[in-house]
Copies of this chain bind each other. A is one copy, B any other.
Amino acid sequence: MTKNVWLAGIPLAIGVGYVAAAFAQAKPEVLVKQRQAAMTLQGKYFGPLAGMAQGKAPYNKDTVVRNAEFLGALSKMPWDGFAESTKDEKSVKTAALPAIWKDTDKFKQAQQHFEEEASKLAQVSKNGDEAAVKAQIGATGKACGGCHQDFREKQQ
């Protein structure tokens, strides 16, 4: 019975919506919000690193290691949110360009390149010297931009 007691508690504890979402194909607008959430957090954790790489903020190894670790995880999170079902989704404002669903191979390559650079940054940040870390921050930033260039509407 112990097992049933805690199982019964889950829906109340986390809200029925999350559990329900596990059993159905996620709605397109949910997928868009989730992928945007991942991008928002990538910005949160990459911004300070870019500032350090440019010498506009003091270098702080603890921050670099933590942010790079988070980026390593976040770099993998947006992509299933670009499902075919979201191609014509209009209820959420999005800067995603049609090229995402036309030039899928190139989009996938750009994703993988970013994941690799972010993963390398997480590794280098732990043991690399400051110059090596800053170089890898630059490489990671270019990988962000490499995807935005072709697959995101130009930002104002």
Contacts and interface: CB of A to CB of B under 8 A. Distances in A.
Interface of A: 3, 6-7, 9-15, 17-19, 21-23, 33-34, 36-38, 40-41, 43-44, 46-57, 69-70, 73-74, 76-77, 131, 135, 137-139, 141-142, 144-146, 148, 155
Contact of A44 (B34, B70, B73, B74): B34
Nearest to A152: B15
Each complex incorporates copies of this chain amounting to 2
Nearest to A55: B7
Contacts of A15: 145, 148, 155
A145 B14 contact: yes
A36 B137 CA distance: 26
A132 to B, nearest CB: 12
20 contacts: A3-B135, A6-B139, A7-B53, A7-B138, A10-B53, A13-B142, A13-B144, A13-B145, A14-B50, A14-B141, A15-B145, A17-B43, A17-B155, A18-B47, A19-B50, A19-B51, A19-B56, A34-B40, A34-B41, A37-B40
A40 B50 contact: no
Please indicate which of the listed interface residues A41, A77, A155 has the most CB atoms of chain B within 10 Å of its own CB. Answer: A41
Please indicate which of the listed interface residues A18, A51, A56 has the most CB atoms of chain B within 10 Å of its own CB. Answer: A18
A7 B138 CA distance: 7
